[in-house]
């Protein structure tokens, strides 16, 4: 039943999920290659941006790093459940919400793949202002963040439209 619905509702969102996943894989593999070639040294450094590889075994921006396998596996299982829920939401939604969810799913799949394959997620984009460094992140994180922000904007706009329609 779900397969029929997917085929019936095939759309550009599915292509964007694959493209986001592939872009993420390419950038991570390239940075890992450069890191090995340069003996784990910083790959790029400028006034506001550094490219250096770190291995994140936690979730979002390195939070909840666990050394115990059972906690890591538990968090990975929860992430898989969230990915399945997002996939179902893509099937049930339409319009801009669907595009936003596709960005989130594409990024989530990229990071989930790394959690399974490497047991950690390679992060390498380090924005900073003098000594203040933001969390180090990757391409998947960019798309997840953009997707979440767009979902929030979509909900705010939809709720505003509902309030206006209820007043009329």
* Active-site choice (24, 114, 126, 141): 141
Return d(Cα 40, Cα 24) in angstroms, integer: 20
Contact 58, 143 (CB under 8 A): no
Cα–Cα nearest to 121, from 57, 63, 67, 66:
57
Active site residue 123: yes
Active site residue 57: no
Return d(Cα 75, Cα 101) in angstroms, integer: 21
* Active-site choice (24, 114, 123, 126): 123
Please identify every residue annotated as catalytic.
123, 141
């Amino acid at each position: 039943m779900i397969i029929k619905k997917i085929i019936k509702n095939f759309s550009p969102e599915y292509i964007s999920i694959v493209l986001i996943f592939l872009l993420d894989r390419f950038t991570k593999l390239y940075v890992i290659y450069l890191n090995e070639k340069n003996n784990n040294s910083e790959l790029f450094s400028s006034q506001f941006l550094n490219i250096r590889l770190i291995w994140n075994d936690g979730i979002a921006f390195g939070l909840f790093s666990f050394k115990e396998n059972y906690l890591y596996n538990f968090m990975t299982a929860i992430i898989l459940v969230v990915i399945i829920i997002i996939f179902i939401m893509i099937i049930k939604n339409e319009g801009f919400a669907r595009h936003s969810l596709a960005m989130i799913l594409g990024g989530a799949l990229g990071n989930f793949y790394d959690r399974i394959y490497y047991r950690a997620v390679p992060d390498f984009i380090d924005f900073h202002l003098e000594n203040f460094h933001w969390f180090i992140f990757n391409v998947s994180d960019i798309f997840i963040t953009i997707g979440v922000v767009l979902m929030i904007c979509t909900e705010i706009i939809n709720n505003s439209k509902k309030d206006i329609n209820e007043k009329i």
